[in-house]
Chain A
Amino acid sequence: MAKPKLSIILIVYDMPRQALNTLTSLAVPYQRNISSDDYEIVIVENSSGNNLDPQAVAAAAPNSRYFLRDEPSVSPVHAINFAFEQCRGEMIGLMIDGARMVTPRVLEYVLQAQGICPNALIAVPGYNLGPVEHQLAADYNYSEAKERNLLQQCNWQHNGYRLFDISSIGGANPTGYIDPLLESNCVFASRDCFAKIGYADTQFTYPGGGSLNLHMFRSLGMLPETNYYFVLAGEGSFHQLHGGVTTQPAEDREATLRLFAKQLNKLWGVFSVLKREPILLGAVCSEAQRFLHYSSMQSLVRFDRLDSKQTHHWVDDVTRLESQTGKPT
């Protein structure tokens, strides 16, 4: 088998139903205008009492490789680094949470962006299935059963863009995707760029990796190599409800998040979202249009606010340029 152009890492723990949906959404024929020879899916599951069925995995995505491993820690960092070792593509997609389904042209556009710039950073905006962020699901009487019903009704296997019809905007990009993203749970960069940031930093030992994904996203975005930063405006990654870490209601959730933030700030001084101007790429179909409308509105509000303070709209673009040229801009 020839070397694929692209490897997608899917990290799974204790969510077989959701992960199979995700796999279906990453496989051909759901993914359009791409051949399954162009990419591979590297699934790494940390063993639980509720693992994926390898036969179901192979049936859902024949171009996938499935690795089940025992992991004593509660963080996905080791699973991620193990997955990086398996990847054969020059471009790598990281999906730290196997419960995120994607829309049908994500992979087509990623390969296009790679064609423009082999070291491009590509982010897919995040959404939640259902009406609210999933840590609030119980308050809104939203459950896995309701979500299953919603998914069934929208017939997403036939048209994945209908996922937009049953979703709300994600916590990583609450004011849309023209504003800075906090992180992306479906992020693509070159193998070289992932190597340059040291892959997944094993300091991130908290459940779910804590703020690992935020750290990796900003680290990739600030590399001198990632000159092009693309956001796929009409595509999305959709979180399915499951027993994850930050999406679970817990009395001590705030305390947990504070711990996560503390670790991040220790590494960055003060952590900031990636303030780089996104290059939009891709069609925006009818289902996705209301989120573009919202994103555009929110960005107008942000631009006005920053203008009134005479603040640059994209300070990280300036910082990167200055560090590359050694000159203030």
Chain B
Amino acid sequence: MPASNPAPESPRLSVVVIVYDMPEQALNTVYSLSTRHQRNVSAEDYEIIVVENRSDHTIDPQRLTSIGDNIHYLCRDENGVSPAPAINAGLKLCKGSFIGLLIDGARMVTPRVIEYALQASSIDPDCLLAVPGYNLGPELQHFSKTHNYNEETEKHLMQTINWQKNGYRLFDIANISEANPRGVFQPFMENNCMFSSAENFNRIGGADEAFHFPGGGGLNLHMFRSLGVLENTEYFFVTPGEGSFHQYHGGVSTSEREDREESFLSPRDQLESYWNGQFKGLEREPFLLGAVGSHAQAFLHYASTRAIKRFNRKSKRHEPFWPSDLHHRRYTEHFL
């Protein structure tokens, strides 16, 4: 059941947000992506496409579209438990030649993500851009139950920082995500706020619907690496001063479940089956793009500390730092 504002005629960028059973978190996410929160961009520059798989807790379409003029909403029925078909439905609606994908609608972003995504696409229309991930709260959300962290405590935490006024304060109440646990200078396992060209999303075949597990299983990891190793993805950008922040909700891989270990075994096998049993993080040299303000600075410092350790370790073993770059024309590491 689509609800929509008049679309920008030809946005340069489309951001697809996938939602299931998390209306409040998704509204925060969309607000953080909207021009009310994003700086130095206008509603004509981009569109936000929210695709929701119907549940008992769907978003109120009016609340959603009242956030901005560039927001479109598609609520769809889905028999399966994977977001893959919803992603493909979202990709089909994109008018922009550059696309952002947030597979988990619970991820809020900082205020210059859209500006830098547009800048990156102007440098290289086929680049891959990753916004580093963080979790709201004091520790990994898988273990939140054990530490009495829940949606209520998170709501309170968010109120204390008045993030709507300054989204960078999200860094003050967050910890680093398991997708990039050692910071931006290490290979990313995946990225939950990634941007690449519409053509590149086509080249990797969109979201492979064979990833049928809850939450898509290894789908996001597969898509991120597939985009990163494409021959025409010459530049891999990372925004060290921006972040995507996971809000606590009942998702598959971010809430504590007794069967978590078990439910991951099969998706992992599935992922490995696509990569000859050798799936790994994307070992490409990141190109930094963006300012790093006071709130994000400690994370950059941490990333740099870890980078030095990694470089030293690799040097001792005479291993290249960024082996996934080796096949790219702009390969720049001169380790040897």
Contacts and interface: CB of A to CB of B under 8 A. Distances in A.
Interface stretch (B57-65, B72-80, B89-97, B281-289): B281-289
A25 B332 CA distance: 16
A292 B304 contact: yes
Contacts of B321: 286
B332 A115 contact: no
B288 A280 contact: yes
A274 B332 CA distance: 32
Given A158-B334, A161-B334, A280-B240, A293 B301 contact: yes
A38 to B, nearest CB: 15
Contacts of B288: 233-234, 280-284
A161 B285 CA distance: 15
Nearest to B325: A283
A112 B122 CA distance: 8
A58 to B, nearest CB: 27
A281 B289 contact: yes
B334 A293 contact: no
Given A105-B332, A293-B301, A277 B291 contact: yes
Contact of A300 (B119, B287, B298, B334): B298
B123 A115 contact: yes
A281 to B, nearest CB: 6
Interface in A274-314: 277-286, 289-290, 292-293, 296-297, 299-300, 303, 307, 313
A280 B291 contact: yes
B311 A297 contact: no
A178 interface: yes
Contact of A289 (B123, B289, B297, B307): B307
A293 B291 CA distance: 15
Contacts of A278: 291
A32 B122 contact: no
Interface in B300-335: 300-301, 304-305, 307-308, 311, 315, 321, 330, 332-335
Interface in B246-302: 285-294, 297-298, 300-301
Contact of B289 (A161, A280, A293): A280
Interface in B167-190: 185
Nearest to B241: A280
Given A116-B123, A282-B287, A283-B287, A290 B308 contact: yes
A73 interface: no
A307 B334 CA distance: 41
A300 B122 CA distance: 31
A285 B305 contact: no
Contacts, number: 85
Question: How many residues of B sit at the interface, in one of the four size bands?
Answer: 20 to 34
A204 to B, nearest CB: 31
A159 interface: yes
B332 A297 contact: no
A105 B300 CA distance: 22
A296 B123 contact: no
Contacts of A285: 285, 332-333
Given A285-B333, A286-B315, A115 B297 contact: no
Given A161-B334, A285-B285, A300 B297 contact: yes
A178 B296 CA distance: 12
A299 B334 contact: no
B332 to A, nearest CB: 6
A313 B294 contact: yes
Nearest to A302: B294
A285 to B, nearest CB: 7
Interface of B: 119, 122-123, 185, 240-241, 285-294, 297-298, 300-301, 304-305, 307-308, 311, 315, 321, 330, 332-335
Given A33-B330, A285-B333, 14 more contacts: A115-B123, A116-B119, A161-B334, A277-B293, A280-B288, A280-B289, A284-B288, A284-B307, A286-B335, A292-B304, A296-B304, A299-B297, A300-B294, A300-B301
Interface of A: 32-33, 104-105, 112, 115-116, 158-159, 161, 178, 233-234, 277-286, 289-290, 292-293, 296-297, 299-300, 303, 307, 313
23 contacts: A32-B330, A33-B330, A104-B332, A112-B123, A115-B123, A159-B334, A178-B297, A233-B288, A278-B291, A280-B289, A283-B286, A283-B332, A289-B185, A290-B308, A292-B300, A292-B304, A293-B301, A293-B305, A293-B308, A299-B294, A300-B297, A300-B298, A307-B294
